[in-house]
Amino acid sequence: MTDRPLHLLALAGSLRRASWNRRLLQAAATLAPAGVTLEVYDALADVPLFDEDLESSSPEGPPGVLALRDAIAAADGLVIATPEYNHALPGVLKNALDWLSRDDQALADRPVAVLGASSGPWGTRLAQASLRQVLHTCGALVMPSPTLFVANAAERFDAQGALADAATRASLERFLGAFAGWVHRVAPSCAAIT
């Protein structure tokens, strides 16, 4: 039997224009296996700071939250590339996950892959651990392995921001292939909700 085509949504936990994590996901879009498309979500900045007063005054959610929820619902899986801030995931990403954890539980039973890039030598190990903890609480089906920690990011991208390091490209390709397998395994008939 042929695997069904997959559409993945990719979220970088950084608003920085030259973010290594966004660049990593842009590379992922070009390295996805056959039959898999990967769309980099670019509107995380539209998600307001979580506030229960704001939530109760707009029960459907603010437009920036609705857009993110809809994009996740339309995807077969979510790939999150997290920076590391003070040994944890950045507030901008945690904030979005807090919105997504509310009534409609947008992440429950959804396949998710976690990776990350940092300018330092540890490659977001602690950020990914903290992100996994939050995702588990949200009921997401987080791929346990392989992991991908992109350390010393400045050495791995060229002047144009493309992922140039051959070993990292190969690891990313393997990572994406494994995630496609994970999506087929944990959500075999969970076609994107449209």
Positions in the binding site for ligand FNR (CB under 6 A): 14, 16, 19-21, 83-87, 118-120, 122
The answer to whether residues 83 and 13 touch, using CB atoms and an 8 Å cutoff, is yes
* Closer residue to ligand FNR, CB minimum distance, 117 or 183: 117
Any idea which residue has 């540890």 for tokens? 122
Give the shortest CB-43-to-ligand FNR separation in angstroms. 16
Give the shortest CB-19-to-ligand FNR separation in angstroms. 3
* Closer residue to ligand FNR, CB minimum distance, 65 or 153: 153
**What is the spatial distance between Cα 136 and Cα 175, in angstroms, rounded to a whole number?**
20
- Identify the bridge partners of residue 141 per DSSP, sorted by sequence position: 111
Element (H, E) at 114: strand 111-117
> Strand 141-142 and strand 6-12: pairing?
unpaired
**What is the spatial distance between Cα 40 and Cα 25, in angstroms, rounded to a whole number?**
7
Q: Which of 94, 134, 91, 83 is nearest to 112 (CA)?
A: 134
Give the shortest CB-72-to-ligand FNR separation in angstroms. 20
* Closer residue to ligand FNR, CB minimum distance, 1 or 159: 159
* Closer residue to ligand FNR, CB minimum distance, 120 or 146: 120
Give the shortest CB-70-to-ligand FNR separation in angstroms. 24
